[in-house]
Amino acid sequence: MADASNPAPRGVPRTLALELARVTERAAIAAARLRGKGDEKAADQAAVDAMRDELNALPIRGTVVIGEGERDQAPMLFIGEQLGRGDGPEVDIAVDPLEGTTLCAKDMPGAIAVMAMAERGSLLAAPDVYMQKIAIGPGYPAGLVDLDASPTENIAAVARAKGVEPNQITALILDRPRHAALVAEVRAAGAAVRLISDGDIAGIIFTASPEETGIDLYLGTGAAPEGVLAAAAMRCIGGQMQGRLILDTPERRRRAAEMGIEDLDRKYDLTDLVSGDVIVAATGVTDGALLRGVRFKPDRIQTETLVYRSEAGTVRRILGEHRRGLS
């Protein structure tokens, strides 16, 4: 136990990186058993249960900061829930046990199990509202894009910095009616739009490797919890991101205030979203551009996992083979 002469270390011990991979592997396998069954809730619940069991076996004193909702609406992994054996470092936990429940239920590309573990107090405790987001990969001058600039200006800035014309730029946007004007403006600016039906954590991560993904920037509005998880990954990979909560009803403003948010219009930079040492793990559930999905073989289960760590800036891709406890 921590005491004055032997204070608990700050940060997240790097040995937990492999433990996080085990957590998301187990959640992904549980969800993948329900792939293509058309039952989003069942797949989500299976991932939640698996993730919670694994997290409770870890030597941490964890608090869920980004979770499945409030205690009354989410029986497990609710915001404020204490996790872990209670004998290790104090950490904050952000989870999306099944990011892309619809993708999983329809067996479409891009469902993942994802979580982040950070130094206590360093993750934005975002309410489950929408967040306006913008992201670009590493290697650009600081402040190149901005939520308060127009999409046209942001595209021109990215094109200029890359030394190309706007027609060489591709923006990734969630395919939603609310984005009709945004999509039209991006196209009018000369850029191409890649639309995704779900999964903007991976969408933001795609901006970090434009030569592989073809994506130069992410624009638009998705969920705030996913924004914090994406920011955690971007802290590790590099790149730039901004987010702003959309608090457009009295109820949402009340929720934000309850969670300690004072400036309701605040524009958060990457280091405001995730301010301290963080580890992120994500395992593919369905096949996708970021990760391969779970493969069930007669004698083993195969998984693919990414583990990101901010302190060292490491990204590891782990192929897992699971031979016991396959039932």
Binding-site members for Mn(2+) are: 44, 68, 96, 99, 226
- Is residue 238 within 8 A of residue 140, CB to CB? The reply is no
With binding defined as CB under 5 A, does residue 200 bind Mg ion? no
Per-residue x/- track, 60-99, Mg ion (CB under 5 A)? ------------------------------------x--x
Among 88, 127, 222, 243, binds ligand VTB (CB under 6 A): 222
Amino acid at 258: E
- For helices 180-188 and 151-162, what crossing angle results, to 10°? 40
Cβ proximity to ligand VTB, 16 vs 306, nearer residue: 306
* Nearest distance from C-beta of residue 226 to Mg ion, angstroms: 5
**Contact positions with Mg ion (CB under 5 A) in 213-232:** none
- Residue 200: contacted member of ligand VTB, Mg ion, none (CB under 5 to 8 Å, by partner type): ligand VTB
With binding defined as CB under 6 A, does residue 176 bind ligand VTB? yes
With binding defined as CB under 6 A, does residue 223 bind ligand VTB? yes
* Nearest distance from C-beta of residue 221 to ligand VTB, angstroms: 8
Among 25, 68, 92, 226, binds ligand VTB (CB under 6 A): 226
User: What's the CA gap between 237 and 135, in Å, rounded?
Assistant: 12
With binding defined as CB under 6 A, does residue 179 bind ligand VTB? no
- Residue 277: contacted member of Mg ion, ligand VTB, none (CB under 5 to 8 Å, by partner type): none
- Is residue 292 within 8 A of residue 284, CB to CB? The reply is yes
Cβ proximity to Mg ion, 40 vs 90, nearer residue: 40
User: What's the CA gap between 115 and 51, in Å, rounded?
Assistant: 9
| Apex 18 CA angle, 58 and 62, nearest 5 | 30
Q: Is 260 exposed, middle or buried, given 0-12, 13-18 or 19+ CB atoms closer than 10 A? A: exposed
* Nearest distance from C-beta of residue 294 to ligand VTB, angstroms: 18
DSSP H/E element including 153: helix 151-162
Q: How many residues belong to the site for ligand VTB (CB under 6 A)?
A: 10
Chain position carrying tokens 């391969």: 292
- For helices 40-56 and 16-32, what crossing angle results, to 10°? 150
Chain position carrying tokens 């937990």: 16
Cβ proximity to ligand VTB, 128 vs 304, nearer residue: 128
Calculate the alpha carbon distances from 287 to 29, 59, 219, 291 in Å: 13, 32, 24, 6
Cβ proximity to Mg ion, 89 vs 110, nearer residue: 110
Chain center to CA of 8: 27
* Nearest distance from C-beta of residue 223 to Mg ion, angstroms: 6
Q: List the structure tokens of 247.
A: 């608090």
| Residues of this chain that bind Mg ion (CB under 5 A) | 96, 99
| Residues of this chain that bind ligand VTB (CB under 6 A) | 99-100, 176, 198-201, 222-223, 226
